[in-house]
Structure 1
Amino acid sequence: MNYFQITLNIAPIKPWTEILTQELAVIGFDSFTEENKSLQAYVSEENYNEDQFNALIEEYRQKKVAIKFEKEHIPAQNWNAVWESDYEPVNIDKKILIRAPFHKADSSFELAIEIQPQMSFGTGHHQTTYLLSKHLLTVDFKEKKVLDVGTGTGVLGILASKLGAETVFGTDIEEGAVENAIENCERNAVKNFEIIKGDIDLVPNEKYDIVIANINKNVLKRHMEAYAKLTKKNGLLFLSGFFETDISELSAHAKLYNFDTLESYQKETWAVIKLTKTI
């Protein structure tokens, strides 16, 4: 998949960089980095709407916020080289090591997951993947059926399998992600993780003990009715892919579908919500 990288210089930086990041996420941008006082925002070519982007920038200029930006087109074939050159192993509380094939193994960790990132989301570097990996360690997966929506590299489903899940079912709308996740299952000798290309409507009409959805706020809200149908009574739902300022909105929306919020976790403005199905 081709991407656009848009580098934005914003003045004043605070609070506008954080606010703009959240609003860019609403219009399809899916990852962000900050470097040398600039914000780098990334959006897939198919999700980029130039009119929406320009309208948003104009809103900020009307608020007397100074914004300059440069747009760069990044072909899909460039991502592997970029990831490999910058990719470092991820150490999660000295318990989980998420590493690429070109990193050395380390037997001192309780769990090790080998991920070839390619062009899929989910290497453990992003705050949401890190948070979910950390807090899934506290969950009893023994003999549980798990659904991983928007699986990306498959890292969370692979982790669930390694933590004892009976079965894992994963979906992703990107064919490349599905192929990558299947390859990563093979790398980790995971055989109980089935992955299909498609959205939530293609998930078998079964009940799952644990549902994991690391996507974005708008998709999570749109999927909530399906999560309710697919989650067992007293089952767990983990939501992520949004900002800490969205916690109240998503918790309230989930409540409409009989989910109670148990806990929420934050890391660098990103968040995870842990919920349970009440009926």
Structure 2
Amino acid sequence: MSHTVYKEYDFKIQPLQPASDILIAELGEAGFESFVEEEHGILAYIQKSEWSSELLNDILILQNKNFDITYTIKDIEQENWNATWEKNFEAIQVDDKCIVRAPFHEKRNVEFDIVIEPKMSFGTGHHETTYMMLRHILENDFSEKSVLDMGSGTGVLAILAALKGAKNIDAIDIDNWCYLNAQENVVRNNCDNINVYEGDVGLLKPKQYDIIMANINRNILLADIPAYAKSLKANGMLFLSGFYRTDLPAITSKCKEFELNFVHEFEKNDWISAFYRFY
């Protein structure tokens, strides 16, 4: 992985919102792995091996005349991306209870202190969806629960679940870099009850969980909700994010097909994180 080369897209966006969030969501579905939000736009990264010159043809926000979006492209080595991330990364505080920080940040006096070095992985607490998923964990009882973190990225959600008392946790991501990075962050936070796996929803059978968390995107969630329902124990909790307010009816309708009942949601900048319970 040390020789992985990425394409860095430097997008300049006017006006910045909501175009920036929409662009990140569309690029994520197109295969981009990581993003750095800047004052005038975003930096977006995709492995050079996954790149093609037609990659942006289906990114609809780029065709929207209400926004002026320009970009430049360059190759970048993994090590250089890490330096870019360190320059931009600030510690994130959630509800005065939880800090998500980098190793070079000073420790703060909070109940849950999480140290994350994301490299190319998604999930630092900066993006609205990760932030809201952390809020769900803080507000619910994870003590002695079995937990699945699906699409785990850095492993930050699994780590907070462990700190909240979950007894055993599986963290699964399809991306090899996320798999390796989550393993590093699990060790960094001394969470020996988290098992990290590389793969997709096919790994779930025949496992059963008290709680499932999935912060992915609308299309994958809709495809995988049936598998989540099969893997939830009676009265189990399902936390979903990675989609917009306009997607909530479709997500809730799919959940209802499998007896997953809507409880409530958080909203931040039109992003949604929803809580369902299996009755």
Q: Taking structure 1 as the reference length, what is the TM-score of the superposition?
A: 0.85
Within the alignment, does 1:159 sit opposite 2:157 as a pair?
no
Cα distance in structure 1, aligned partners of 2:89 and 2:46: 20
Code of the residue aligned with 2:124 in structure 1: it is T
Within the alignment, does 1:54 sit opposite 2:57 as a pair?
yes
Change (3 A) 1:49 1:110: same
Per-residue deviation, 1:18: 6.0
Superposition map of 1:1-279 within 5 A:
2-8=5-11, 22-29=25-32, 35=38, 37-38=40-41, 40-45=43-48, 48=51, 50-51=53-54, 53-56=56-59, 60=63, 68-106=70-108, 108-278=109-279
Q: In 2, are the aligned partners of 1:175 and 1:197 still within 8 Å (CA)? A: yes
Post-superposition Cα deviations, 1:21-80, rounded to whole Å, max 9, x if no partner, equal 55445434466666555455554545555435225469837x797654433333333221
- SS state at 2:54 partner: helix
Post-superposition Cα deviations, 1:83-127, rounded to whole Å, max 9, x if no partner, equal 112211111121101111111112x21111111222211111121
Per-residue deviation, 1:193: 0.8
- SS state at 2:120 partner: coil
Per-residue deviation, 1:221: 1.4
Q: In 1, are the aligned partners of 2:173 and 2:199 still within 8 Å (CA)? A: yes
Change (3 A) 1:202 1:6: same
Cα distance in structure 2, aligned partners of 1:15 and 1:124: 19
Cα distance in structure 2, aligned partners of 1:179 and 1:54: 31
Cα distance in structure 1, aligned partners of 2:245 and 2:268: 9
Code of the residue aligned with 2:75 in structure 1: it is H
Cα distance in structure 2, aligned partners of 1:41 and 1:178: 20
Between the two proteins, what is the percent identity of the paired residues? 39
Cα distance in structure 1, aligned partners of 2:129 and 2:61: 30
Q: How many residues align?
A: 276
Cα distance in structure 2, aligned partners of 1:145 and 1:256: 24
Cα distance in structure 2, aligned partners of 1:80 and 1:17: 22
Post-superposition Cα deviations, 1:185-244, rounded to whole Å, max 9, x if no partner, equal 222221111111111112351211100011111111121111011011211111112222
**Structure 2 spans left out of the alignment, 5+ residues:** none
Q: Taking structure 2 as the reference length, what is the TM-score of the superposition?
A: 0.85
Q: In 1, are the aligned partners of 2:11 and 2:43 still within 8 Å (CA)? A: yes
Per-residue deviation, 1:262: 1.0
Change (3 A) 1:35 1:220: same
Change (3 A) 1:188 1:232: same
Cα distance in structure 1, aligned partners of 2:27 and 2:104: 34
Change (3 A) 1:184 1:60: closer
- SS state at 1:137 partner: helix
Cα distance in structure 1, aligned partners of 2:193 and 2:13: 47
**Structure 1 spans left out of the alignment, 5+ residues:** none
Q: In 2, are the aligned partners of 1:57 and 1:67 still within 8 Å (CA)? A: no
Cα distance in structure 2, aligned partners of 1:200 and 1:55: 26
Cα distance in structure 2, aligned partners of 1:14 and 1:183: 34
CA RMSD, aligned part only? 2.8
Q: In 2, are the aligned partners of 1:4 and 1:72 still within 8 Å (CA)? A: yes
